[in-house]
Amino acid sequence: MDEAEEVNSNRKSISKTRKQMNENSPAFLTYKILYEAVSICHAHGVEHVVLCPGSRSAPIALSFMRFEGIKHFVIPDERSAAYVALGMARQTKKPVALVCTSGTASLNFAPAVAEAFFSELPLIVFTADRPAEWIGQADNQAIFQTNLYGKHVKTAFTFPTELSHPDSEWYAIRQVNEALNIAKIQPKGPVHINVPLREPLYLDEAYDFGILSPKKVEIVQSERTLPSSVYDNIAHYQRIMVVSGTHRPNKTLVELLSKLGSESKIVFVPDITSNLVNIPGSISFAELIIDTIKPDEISNFVPDLVISFGGPIVSKSLKNFVRNKEIKEHWHLSGHPGSADTFQKLAKVFDIDSVGFFKAVLENGKLQPNPEFARNWANSQVDIKPKTKIALDSLPFCEVKSAYQILSSLPDDVVLHLGNSLPVRFASVFPFIKSGTEIYSNRGTSGIDGTVSSAAGQSMVDTQMHVLICGDLAFMYDSNGLWNNYLKDNLKIIVFNNHGGGIFRTLPGAKAQKELEEYFVVKQPLNFGYTAIQHNCHYFHCKDFETFQITLYGFYAITGKPAVLEIEFREDLSIENLKQMIK
Ligand SMILES: Cc1ncc(C[n+]2csc(CCOP(=O)(O)OP(=O)(O)O)c2C)c(N)n1
């Protein structure tokens, strides 16, 4: 049979099936509309869907599974699944769909939905539901799902339950189009589509809907330009500091900011999660500089204008420095009216992205920089880096030193994931990391509950090596991130096991309390060999210098399945100790 004949014969069998099927039956209409909804998702760029098992969700899940252009992943733990989807959205820069059944399953999506909201990542969350009249009637797996995620989604819809009227189909497809467009438009974010479904939930036989072409509604965005008044306005400031928060890698931005920084036109301070750390001309060791400047020299480092872009900033020292000093204005780029006033000095929010802004400023800006301001920062960084290295090298085996050694010797082309709380702080304070290393952390809400899953999600849709460094509580909390059938050997997890929430031993308020160990640290005696092996991962362990380097080498080199390296620490030196040593 040639190809055309085969298609024809397929068509015949489909139309035969179609005749046998009652096309007005509620189940048929449900599947048809959901299949159209999936087609619309695909038309809007959805390439991956994470599905959580359940019966009420079957029509949605099966529609996704039977649609060829979207790759599906089935993950049983909804909290983990949602973080996996978040990781995929972060890695692919595309919207990712997520599906669960009714009841508490949908509540378990909430942590990742909140993280996606504050990290501006597009998740398309489908929750199956019971029809409205069955909520609160002691029926199975029924909770209040309308607007379940509150303000943590950009918008929420409820699908029509009665699908027999043709307007219902138009309404449902309109919702999916709106949801996708809203999720993708800046600031990106999660959207919720609650889908009440009546029984029967299954078609008697698998039905091929062929190619449906529901109408995609597209947003056509116009280019934004900078008003010319800004060029004169910016010339009033001689000491401009540019601060980037969480941002995805962007080569054009690297070029623009490297040029502005290297020519001392601005002082550029990148956050550890900005993917701009250590680019030429950047001041990536700003926290150490701020915390070791002599009080009588501070005024030489204070900017008169701060321009920020991107998401949250990890360094508290930097945030306090900008908040507490006499700075004339703060401008935020690529913002929306609700942009965060991080430094309590927000004066202007620019409706243009950072690339557009800096390109325009480079081409047309009448920048009048004070060369001394940039020189002070650059010289301090030249001074502080070797001092920091000497201090770190002199330390005994401890978390701070291990973090330094791992960060400064990462293999080429790895994607680095930093767990809350100490790992991301270590990297933020002493970022001895190759420029160009991609770095991610769940800093939208700084939770410790999806650290493994989000890194796993990124690694599933990528071929590079993904290295996660996280604490023992974060690892245990989200060890279900290892409970799925999709992990590959490009996932490497380093657990810093200080037997509790080590961060609290370093926080001035918490460490002074008599309840420190019981309430804050929650000391735990565990090791993670069984956890790793149970989840079919290689397992490495070390607790001293003698084995550290060789273990690390083997850990990176091993293939075949994911690897977990547990580094066990007894006592630690805090970042504060390190700063004192440098001072
Ligand atoms: C879901 C969640 N619960 C609680 C917290 C508060 N919290 C912040 S850091 C931390 C301890 C983390 O311990 P661990 O993962 O071992 O990292 P370490 O502090 O030792 O670096 C806790 C409980 C949080 N961020 N997220």
For residue 564, the CA-to-ligand 1 centroid distance in Å is: 19
For residue 302, the CA-to-ligand 1 centroid distance in Å is: 33
What residue ranges define each of the domains in the chain, with the CATH number in brackets? 24-196 (3.40.50.970), 228-382 (3.40.50.1220), 395-582 (3.40.50.970)
Say if CB 288 and CB 384 are below 8 A apart: yes
Tell me if 452 CB under 6 Å of ligand 1: no
Across the chain, mean pLDDT equals 93
Cα separation of 217 and 456, whole Å?
Answer: 33
pLDDT in tens, 132-150: 999 999 888 999 999 999 9
State how far Cα 9 lies from the chain centre. Answer: 47
Q: Is the pLDDT of residue 10 over 80?
A: no
Looking at the chain, the number of H-run helices and the number of E-run strands are: 22, 17
Q: Is the pLDDT of residue 248 over 60?
A: yes
pLDDT in tens, 110-121: 999 999 999 999
pTM: 0.95
* Residue nearest atom 9 of ligand 1, based on CA coordinates: 421
* Ligand 1: nearest atom to the Cα of 425: 21
Bridging pattern class, strands 240-244 and 305-309? parallel
Tell me if 99 CB under 6 Å of ligand 1: no
pLDDT in tens, 284-317: 999 999 999 999 999 999 999 999 999 999 999 9
Residue with tokens 């029924």: 142
Quick one: tokens of 551? 């273990």
More confident residue, 511 or 432: 432
Tell me if 447 CB under 6 Å of ligand 1: yes
Q: Which of 253, 305, 303 is nearest to 279 (CA)?
A: 253
8-22, 121-135, 403-417, 563-577 — which is least confidently predicted? Answer: 8-22
For residue 501, the CA-to-ligand 1 centroid distance in Å is: 6
Mean of the pLDDT values across residues 162-175?
92
Mean of the pLDDT values across residues 453-473?
98
Residue 335: band (very low, low, confident or very high) from pLDDT cuts 50, 70, 90: confident
Tell me if 400 CB under 6 Å of ligand 1: no
222 torsion bin: left (phi>0), alpha (psi -120 to 50), beta (else) = beta
Q: Which amino acid is at 501?
A: G
Say if CB 374 and CB 266 are below 8 A apart: yes
Tell me if 442 CB under 6 Å of ligand 1: no
Backbone angles phi, psi at 478, to 5 degrees: -120, 35
For residue 423, the CA-to-ligand 1 centroid distance in Å is: 11
pLDDT in tens, 189-245: 999 999 999 999 998 777 778 778 889 999 998 888 899 899 889 999 999 999 999
Cα separation of 219 and 39, whole Å?
Answer: 17
Tell me if 270 CB under 6 Å of ligand 1: no
Q: Is the pLDDT of residue 91 over 80?
A: yes
For residue 477, the CA-to-ligand 1 centroid distance in Å is: 9
Q: Is the pLDDT of residue 459 over 80?
A: yes
For residue 480, the CA-to-ligand 1 centroid distance in Å is: 17
Cα separation of 249 and 310, whole Å?
Answer: 11
